[in-house]
């Protein structure tokens, strides 16, 4: 059974819902808004959003789970995404993935115990010309190599 949202959560969700409700494609906007507000999309917001848009919980759940960018849990303070699509693989992306895992001590979808960083795969950042590519906290990084990786790790551990 879904857990009911507490009063405070409910109000924060309601504010997000009210901000986007009238717009076309409101569901995606609202889910982004919730993720911005909470850092992830808490399970208990599903019934609130469903009710507001006259959708079923299943409808909302289907959309949330379809998009990998909607989080079920809060991420670390930094999020590092490394591209695993074809162009990046061809340019040595897989080796960069392994190196990053080693340096951070994390597998994909894991967050470090100090909550500093979350490591995630991504499929194409549209930066194939500068493969292998990565993204740190929304900033694109091209021509990823070992040095850049060390730099990133130092930064996120700081």
Partner 1 sequence: MGLIHEIDFGTPAALSDKTITLTIDGREITVPEGTSVMRASMEAGIQVPKLCATDMVDAFGSCRLCLVEVEGRNGTPASCTTPAAEGMVVHTQTERLKTIRKGVMELYISDHPLDCLTCAANGDCELQDMAGAVGLRDVRYGYEGDNHVRAKQDSGINAKWMPKDESNPYFTYDPAKCIVCSRCVRACQEVQGTFALTIEGRGFDSRVSPSAHELFIDSECVSCGACVQACPTATLTEKSVIAIGQPEHSAVTTCAYCGVGCSFKAEMRGEELIRMVPWKEGQANRGHSCVKGRFAYGYSTHKDRILNPMIREKITDPWREVSWEEALNYTASEFRRLQYQYGRASVGGITSSRCTNEETFLMQKLIRAGFGNNNVDTCARVCHSPTGYGLGQAFGTSAGTQNFDSVEHSDVVVVIGANPTDGHPVFGSRLKKRLRQGAQLIVIDPRRTDLVKSPHIKAAHHLALKPGTNVAVMTALAHVIVTEGLQDEGFIRDRCDWSEFEDWAEFVSEERHSPEATEDYTGVPADEIRRAARLFATGGNGAIYYGLGVTEHSQGSTTVMAIANLAMVTGNIGRPGVGVNPLRGQNNVQGSCDMGSFPHELPGYRHVSDEAARDVFEKMWGVTISSEPGLRIPNMLDAAVEGSFKGLYIQGEDILQSDPDTKHVAAGLAAMECVVVQDLFLNETANYAHVFLPGSTFLEKDGTFTNAERRINRVRKVMTPKNGYADWEVTQNLARAMGLDWEYTHPSEIMDEIAITTPSFAGVNYPYLDQVGSVQWPCNEHFPVGSPIMHVDGFVRGKGKFIRTEYVATDERTGPRFPLLLTTGRILSQYNVGAQTRRTDNVVWHPEDKLEIHPHDAEQRGIHDNDWVKLSSRSGDTTLRATITTRVSPGVVYTTFHHPTTQANVITTDYSDWATNCPEYKVTAVQISPSNGPSDWQVEYDEQARRSRRIAGHLEAAE
115 binds partner 1 (CB under 8 A): no
Please identify which residue in 26, 29, 55, 95 interacts with partner 1, judged by CB under 8 A.
55
Nearest to 51 by CA among 14, 7, 12, 9: 14
Q: Is 130 annotated as a binding residue?
A: no
**Ordered alpha helix ranges (H), 39-145:** 46-53, 57-66, 86-90, 93-104
Site residues for partner 1, 34-53, by CB under 8 A, read: 43, 46, 50
71 binds partner 1 (CB under 8 A): no
* Residue 56 C-beta: closest distance to partner 1, Å: 4
Nearest to 132 by CA among 154, 141, 151: 141
Instruction: Name which of 23 and 56 has its Cβ closer to partner 1.
Output: 56
Instruction: Name which of 9 and 116 has its Cβ closer to partner 1.
Output: 9
Please identify which residue in 66, 107, 126, 139 interacts with partner 1, judged by CB under 8 A.
66
The b-or-e profile of 3-22 (16+ CB within 10 A means b, else e) is eebeeebeebbeebbeebee
**Binding span for partner 1 by CB under 8 A among 26-34, 54-62, 85-93, 95-103:** 54-62
6 binds partner 1 (CB under 8 A): no
From residue 115, alpha-carbon distances to 14, 25, 36, 104 in Å are 28, 33, 18, 12
Angle, nearest 10°, between helix axes 93-104 and 146-157?
30
Q: Is 83 annotated as a binding residue?
A: yes
Nearest 5°: the CA angle 9, 10, 11 is 90
* Residue 40 C-beta: closest distance to partner 1, Å: 14
* Residue 78 C-beta: closest distance to partner 1, Å: 26
Which stretch of DSSP H or E encloses residue 151? Answer: helix 146-157
- What is the contact surface with partner 1 in residues (CB under 8 A)? 1-2, 43, 46, 50, 54-62, 65-66
């Amino acid at each position: 059974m879904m857990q009911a949202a507490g009063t405070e959560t409910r109000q924060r969700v309601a504010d997000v819902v009210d901000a986007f409700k009238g717009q076309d494609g409101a569901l995606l906007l609202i889910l982004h808004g919730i993720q911005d507000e909470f850092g992830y999309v808490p399970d208990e917001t599903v019934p609130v959003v469903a009710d507001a848009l006259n959708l079923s919980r299943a409808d909302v759940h289907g959309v949330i789970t379809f998009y990998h960018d909607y989080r079920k849990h809060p991420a670390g303070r930094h999020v590092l995404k490394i591209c695993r699509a074809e162009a990046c693989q061809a340019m040595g992306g897989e080796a960069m993935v392994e190196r990053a895992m080693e340096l951070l001590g994390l597998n994909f979808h894991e967050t470090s115990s100090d909550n500093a960083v979350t490591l995630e795969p991504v499929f194409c950042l549209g930066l194939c010309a500068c493969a292998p590519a990565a993204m740190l906290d929304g900033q694109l990084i091209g021509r990823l190599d070992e040095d850049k990786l060390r730099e990133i790790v130092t930064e996120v551990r700081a």
